[in-house]
């Protein structure tokens, strides 16, 4: 595990706000409103394809990996859980496989279209909201998780402050993300798969016209994302404790912390 950095609140310029540089191929560069509108429309429009393409992207191992990551982070029965950026419920389903307590789970996402595709055996409370303004009370969660949404939020520093606000003292935070491979060849292979092969497969099996574009965008945000050390720095700067990054297979980052 990478050791945490020692950030200071006195240096706001060192904190992560927008997780990656603007991508003008998809929206007007530097226009926060255009970026947000692009993301909302894209995720709403492609929600019908998301679960199918995720299985292709993860070669069928996504459910197993998410469950293992949640267990490594300390998720257990009896915890009040908030799934930020729940999307179609892929992480939430693995939470319920561990806890079996839908009444202790709240899903939060800005995309009604994505949450509409979240299917559970027992109803789960879903709330429209963003990581920068999580719609739950202060100190109300034992466990907060955000799965593969870090690159899509507008202000990660604000989100870090929100994670600290909603966690109970000692509560646990887990952020799942895909990051660039450290080796040049590993990164080239990952790019060829995610920006080339996956969009091609999406073109063959998707129902929504925008789905292949979404997966090209997915890689472009990974490639442009801030370094992991800056994510760790930002979390620690907002009062989260024992911040660490655990890495699986060189690309799956698990950022963990306590409230």
Is residue 189 included in any domain, yes or no? no
Question: What was the pLDDT predicted at 61?
Answer: 76
User: Which strands make up the sheet holding 167-178, listed edge to edge?
Assistant: 125-128, 105-109, 81-84, 141-147, 167-178, 252-258, 241-248
Band the pLDDT of 37: cuts 50, 70, 90.
very high
Give the pLDDT confidence of 93-128 residue by residue, as tens digits: 999 999 999 999 999 999 999 999 998 988 999 999
Is residue 33 included in any domain, yes or no? yes
Instruction: Read off the CATH number of the domain in which 37 is found.
Output: 3.40.50.150
Q: Which domain holds residue 141?
A: 28-181+225-258
Is residue 134 included in any domain, yes or no? yes
Residue 188 contacts residue 194 (beta carbons within 8 Å)? no
Q: What is the CB neighbour count within 10 angstroms for residue 122?
A: 10
Is residue 15 included in any domain, yes or no? no
Domain count, the chain: 1
Give the pLDDT confidence of 149-202 residue by residue, as tens digits: 999 999 999 999 999 999 999 999 999 999 999 889 999 998 998 888 888 888
φ, ψ of residue 101 to 5 degrees: the values are -130, 80
pTM exceeds 0.85, yes or no:
yes
């Amino acid at each position: 595990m990478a050791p945490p950095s020692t950030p200071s609140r006195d240096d706001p310029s060192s904190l992560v706000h927008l997780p990656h540089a603007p991508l003008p191929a998809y929206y007007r560069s530097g226009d926060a409103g255009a970026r947000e509108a692009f993301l909302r429309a894209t995720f709403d429009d492609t929600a019908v394809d998301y679960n199918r393409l995720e299985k292709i992207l993860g070669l069928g191992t996504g459910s197993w990996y998410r469950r293992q990551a949640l267990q490594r982070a300390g998720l257990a029965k009896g915890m009040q859980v908030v799934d930020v950026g729940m999307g179609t419920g892929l992480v939430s389903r693995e939470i319920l496989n561990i806890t079996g307590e839908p009444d202790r789970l709240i899903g939060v996402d800005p995309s009604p279209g994505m949450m509409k595709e979240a299917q559970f055996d027992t109803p789960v409370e879903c709330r429209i909201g963003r990581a920068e303004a999580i719609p739950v009370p202060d100190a109300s969660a034992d466990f907060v998780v955000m799965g593969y949404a870090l690159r899509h939020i507008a202000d990660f520093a604000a989100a870090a402050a929100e994670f600290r606000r909603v966690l109970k003292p000692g509560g646990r935070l887990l952020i799942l993300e895909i990051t660039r491979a450290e080796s040049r060849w590993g990164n080239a292979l990952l790019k060829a798969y995610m920006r080339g092969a996956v969009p091609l497969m999406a073109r063959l099996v998707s129902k929504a016209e925008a789905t292949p574009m979404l997966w090209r965008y997915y890689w472009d945000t990974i490639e442009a994302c801030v370094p992991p050390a800056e994510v760790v720095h930002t979390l620690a700067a907002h009062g989260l404790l024992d911040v660490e990054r655990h890495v699986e297979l060189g690309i799956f980052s698990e950022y963990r912390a306590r409230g």
